[in-house]
Amino acid sequence: MRSKLFAQIASSLLFAGVAFAQNQEPPRAPTWTDEIAKGFIPYHQLTVADFPIDDKTQTNAGYSIKSFIHPFWHYVMTRRDWYYAYVQQWIVFSGFDRNQSWRKSKFREMQQSLPHAQAYLDLNEICARQMAALKPGELPSGRGATPEEAAKELSDKMNAFIQERYKAIDAEAEQFQKATNRGANKKKVRELGKEIRKRLDAIPPPTGPGYDLPAPSPNPSPTTKVP
């Protein structure tokens, strides 16, 4: 007998993390070690063990997946007749939010649901890689009569800039949900999943300072058992 539980996809983007300062020395840039310590896992091919069991959540969903995109930036300020604030450093972390992703213990179709969850995560990663590929000069800037005015204009423009990209990926995720009947149409999931993955593979993952993953532990923990 097939389970009546269905898949729940949360909003694709958690928040825009901002790291900026106007002094000469940039603040310590966040790293993947920082993100992983908070439960934000780099993009990867999902497994059942990625989804912690949560039987306390009051919902009919069999599982829920939450992705994230965390953009960080550092700005500098120059002065002529007015103050000018512009982005000097830009880094975007993205992947799987293990804090808010879960599955019910009685949901026995998690393995079969992974293609649906993966396609959704791939959509999120497309947006993240497109953002990460932007150069600082392609990002908004701010100006004002005082440093505070210039900084505020930059912050407002950056938030609006990022939110526009969030809206686009949220809209596509919603279309994906409707087209696949929230993952129930396995054939459509496979069809759209292949198209999404092809788009993702055409965008190289970001590399360079800040994107290095921490070295694996020499003594890995035992493999999580899946009930």
* CB proximity list for 113: less than 8 A, separation 6 or greater: 7, 62, 63, 183
pLDDT for 212 equals 87
pLDDT for 220 equals 41
pLDDT in tens, 78-134: 988 899 999 988 999 999 999 999 999 999 999 999 999 999 999 999 999 999 999
* Residue in this structure with the two tokens 């969903």, named with its chain if needed: 61
Question: In a 10 Å sphere around its CB, with 0-12 CB exposed, 13-18 middle and 19+ buried, how is residue 178 labelled?
Answer: exposed
pLDDT for 190 equals 97
Length of the chain: 227
Question: What residues pair up with 7 in beta bridges, in sequence order?
Answer: 63
pLDDT for 197 equals 98
> In this structure, how many other beta carbons lie within 10 angstroms of the beta carbon of residue 202?
9
Q: Got the DSSP string for 195-222?
A: HHHHHHHTSPPP-STT-PPPPPPSSPPP
Position 9 pLDDT exceeds 70: no
pLDDT for 217 equals 54
pLDDT for 198 equals 98
pLDDT in tens, 15-42: 333 444 444 555 677 899 999 999 999 9
Question: In a 10 Å sphere around its CB, with 0-12 CB exposed, 13-18 middle and 19+ buried, how is residue 203 labelled?
Answer: middle
Q: What is the DSSP letter of 60?
A: S
**Residue 96: closest CA among 114, 109, 112:** 114
DSSP H or E run through 169: helix 147-179
How far apart CA 110 and CA 5 sit, in angstroms, is 11
pLDDT for 26 equals 58
Position 54 pLDDT exceeds 80: yes
Tokens of residue 125, six digits: 């990663």
**What is the percentage of the chain residues whose pLDDT exceeds 70?**
83
* Mean pLDDT, rounded, for 1-23: 39
**Residue 73: closest CA among 86, 84, 64, 82:** 86
Q: Measure CA 99 to chain center.
A: 13
Position 204 pLDDT exceeds 50: yes
Residue type present at position 211: Y
pLDDT in tens, 144-182: 999 999 999 999 999 999 999 999 999 999 999 999 999
pLDDT in tens, 142-152: 999 999 999 99
How far apart CA 183 and CA 112 sit, in angstroms, is 10
Position 222 pLDDT exceeds 90: no
pLDDT for 74 equals 87
